[in-house]
Structure 1
Amino acid sequence: MTIKHFSIEYDAINSKNTFTNGDTINGRIIVEVSKQTRIQSLVLIATGKARVCWQEQYGDNHHVYWADEKYYSVQHHILREARQDGTEVIAKGRHIFPFSFKIPDRKLPSSFKSSVGKIVHKFRAELKRSLKLTKKAKAHFTFVSKADMDIPGLMDPQYGCKDKAIKLFGSGTISMDVYTKKMGYEQGEALQIILKISNHSTRSVKPKFILYEKRSFFAQGHRKLWTNEILKQKTEAVAPSTSETVTKVITIPRDLPPSILNCAIIKMEYRLKVNYTM
């Protein structure tokens, strides 16, 4: 085999090996050949794209829903038409071809992967030789989008309410009013929740606070939904025929991936649910 090794490497710029909008990635394409070799072209392609695909069954029929979305595709010609015959000759041994790529400084969704959909940022290298199959190599890099502070309502106070009549194992009504200072939070930040609960029932109720992840996938006019509970906390019970104001502080886990709100086919968000048990 003439080409013994063909790969892509790049340098990390932080301890997590992540990149964001406007960052420059420096790397190299490594080619090792067993003898002098003529190369027509060596191209590096940086791409960012999303894809979803899932299957649903209706009786005996199966239907596959899928969709793609592309964000960028940038080519760098590392070797091209260096000689009159359109080829470049490289000697036997190991060769390193450095490259530099600046991630577009615009709104892009973060890297994401699940069984239904994925958002991929990667490099692909293609080495072409006359009358030979194109040799390919790839390397993914983890892109984390900068926080988008322009989302409407992100810093606005939030409010929700719920009233429920008790009919099983008791009677009366329970009403809850929930307040938070804003809608958007970062990893590690404290989320303060103020709950005003009026228990006009014959049962004690124990408020509970649930932070959960919600993923939505969209294709061909259909949606697939997936939720996952991240954490759940409770407070002391509220006695029958009493009203209380409860303040609860939840720390957003530092290892949570960022929300994805800027992709047309994948949406990942975090929600707070306030409920109670008896």
Structure 2
Amino acid sequence: MLFDRLKRFLIVLEGTEGDAPAAFSPGQAVSGRVVLELAAAARLGALRLRAMGAARVHWTESRSAGSSTAYTQSYSDQVEFLCHRDTLLAPPDNGEVTILQAGRHEFPFTFQLPETLATSFEGKHGSVRYWVKAKLHRPWSTVKKVKKEFTVIEPIDINTPALLAPQAGAKEKLARAWYCNRGQVSVTAKIDRKGYTPGEVIPIFAEIDNCTSRAVVPKAAIIQTQTFIARGTKKQKKSVVTSIVGDSIAAGKREVWHGRALKIPPVGPSILQCRIIQVEYSLKVCVDIPGTSKLLLELPLVIGTIPLHPFGSRTSSISSQYSVNLDWLSTILEQPEAPPEYSTVVSSPETEQSLAPPCRSELGGILEGPFFAYIQEFRFRPPPLYSEIDPNPPSDNTRPRCMTC
């Protein structure tokens, strides 16, 4: 039997060994090999490879019709992202079988991932999975299968104007108990930007006014919302990623958070472009009010994969106070301008005079102010390499110029 002679049958992806996880980005090439190790010579039919990627959702809901009759409604849907097939070992055209000798045999493969893929995900009612499966055929025998899963991470760059924009909001609630007005609770909160990456700290700026007759407790939490969609119906699951609890605020008092830190733990990135699965995050600032429901203020978050670079950090701090327009970046040339020829700059006395700083008579009363600066800005390419050999040596009939003239 073949499978008595088959010592090893596995898939190895490039850059990994054994069961180590492999992660790729959309548009990237995935390379690997199917390893077949035989203890003795064996007759084989074909070795086929299939790479798949899909998002799937499924859940059931119990519904009642009348007082005693109940039935279960199922919801499911699927979106295919990747389907690649390849034959690594084909049987001969004459109908015979291929005989492999004892030892180790490797069959390499490569396939390209599409440019648009959803991030790998495992949820309560659905998942996004990617895998490679190999099938080994033999005449008059069962098919031997092996499967290797890999991870795809969709890049989300938080260094974009939309994700660098500050997020702020305000809410208030009238505390009532037994139809009696016990005062009002209000909260305003603000964060520097919308996009963050795992491991970063979110500084929360908030003001909580307690105008009731009882103490209240402020809290803040990052909420993950998983949304599964099938047949026009949505199923959601919300969970708390991390949270902090503030100090109790006495009646008639105000609490101010000057950048209260909330660290983001290791979590999966947001999934926003999949038709049947979405993973969203939000920052919720809530106030527990005794005797009535909580006051909730929600600010949207996007968990990305590309962290903030230094320029984005500076922009973020500025944008917390001013609205920043980054459209001017598109006007910067990708390649610097070529510097002008030396002869075009100093070829005539008129040109020298035009390049000189303005004289006092031309400026009028400008110099009478407390400060004056004359700034010229150039964008030149690097100068040529230094050489002691003059590329344009003077001719014999060139008369030297008198410096005293």
Q: TM-score range by the shorter chain?
A: 0.7 to 0.9
- Residue 55 of structure 1 corresponds to which residue in structure 2? 60
Q: Say which structure, 1 or 2, has more relative contact order (CA 8 Å, 6+ apart).
A: 1
- Residue 20 of structure 1 corresponds to which residue in structure 2? 25
Query: 1:191-270, aligned counterparts within 5 Å?
Result: 191-247=202-258, 248-253=260-265, 255-270=266-281
| Deviation for aligned residue 1:21 | 2.6
Instruction: Tell me, in whole angstroms, the C-alpha distance in 1 between the residues paired with 2:170 and 2:89.
Output: 64
Instruction: Calculate the aligned-residue CA RMSD, in Å.
Output: 2.7
Say which structure is richer in strand: 1
- Residue 13 of structure 2 corresponds to which residue in structure 1? 10
| Deviation for aligned residue 1:39 | 3.6
In the alignment, structure 1 residue 135 sits paired with structure 2 residue 144: yes
- Residue 129 of structure 2 corresponds to which residue in structure 1? 120
Provide, for residues 246-269 of structure 1, a one-character-per-residue CA deviation record: whole Å limited to 9, x for no partner. 23221111x212222221111112
| Deviation for aligned residue 1:86 | 7.1
Q: Secondary structure at the match of 1:237?
A: coil
Residue 26 and residue 175 in structure 1: after superposition, are their counterparts in 2 closer, same or farther (change >3 A)?
A: same
- Residue 288 of structure 2 corresponds to which residue in structure 1? 277
Moved more, 131-140 or 259-268: 131-140
Which of 110, 113, 116 is equivalent to 1:107?
116
User: Taking every aligned residue pair, what percent have the same amino acid on both sides?
Assistant: 29
Provide, for residues 115-159 of structure 1, a one-character-per-residue CA deviation record: whole Å limited to 9, x for no partner. 421111100112234454433221111222211559894332212
TM-score (norm 2): 0.61
In the alignment, structure 1 residue 80 sits paired with structure 2 residue 90: yes
Residue 2 of structure 1 contacts residue 34 of structure 1 at CA under 8 Å; is this kept in 2?
A: no
Residue 51 of structure 1 contacts residue 118 of structure 1 at CA under 8 Å; is this kept in 2?
A: yes
Moved more, 192-201 or 49-58: 192-201
- Residue 329 of structure 2 corresponds to which residue in structure 1? none
| Deviation for aligned residue 1:206 | 2.2
In the alignment, structure 1 residue 183 sits paired with structure 2 residue 194: yes
- Residue 385 of structure 2 corresponds to which residue in structure 1? none
Provide, for residues 217-270 of structure 1, a one-character-per-residue CA deviation record: whole Å limited to 9, x for no partner. 1111111111111222122233333344323221111x2122222211111122
- Residue 336 of structure 2 corresponds to which residue in structure 1? none
Moved more, 53-62 or 140-149: 140-149
Instruction: Tell me, in whole angstroms, the C-alpha distance in 2 between the residues paired with 1:6 and 1:269.
Output: 40
Instruction: Tell me, in whole angstroms, the C-alpha distance in 2 between the residues paired with 1:32 and 1:54.
Output: 42
Residue 236 and residue 143 in structure 1: after superposition, are their counterparts in 2 closer, same or farther (change >3 A)?
A: same
| Deviation for aligned residue 1:202 | 1.7
- Residue 156 of structure 1 corresponds to which residue in structure 2? 165
Gaps of 5+ in 2: 65-69, 290-405
Q: Secondary structure at the match of 2:244?
A: strand
* Number of residue-to-residue matches in the alignment: 276
- Residue 70 of structure 1 corresponds to which residue in structure 2? 80
Instruction: Tell me, in whole angstroms, the C-alpha distance in 2 between the residues paired with 1:13 and 1:39.
Output: 27
What residue identity is the alignment partner of 1:6?
A: F
What residue identity is the alignment partner of 1:229?
A: V
Moved more, 50-59 or 26-35: 26-35
Instruction: Tell me, in whole angstroms, the C-alpha distance in 1 between the residues paired with 2:125 and 2:217.
Output: 36
TM-score (norm 1): 0.87
What residue identity is the alignment partner of 2:261?
A: V
Provide, for residues 79-137 of structure 1, a one-character-per-residue CA deviation record: whole Å limited to 9, x for no partner. 23555447533224432212233433x23111112342111110011223445443322
Q: Secondary structure at the match of 1:154?
A: helix
In the alignment, structure 1 residue 174 sits paired with structure 2 residue 185: yes
Instruction: Tell me, in whole angstroms, the C-alpha distance in 2 between the residues paired with 1:148 and 1:73.
Output: 27
What residue identity is the alignment partner of 1:114?
A: G
Larger radius of gyration: 2
Residue 107 of structure 1 contacts residue 262 of structure 1 at CA under 8 Å; is this kept in 2?
A: no
Moved more, 241-250 or 7-16: 7-16
Instruction: Tell me, in whole angstroms, the C-alpha distance in 1 between the residues paired with 2:99 and 2:90.
Output: 11
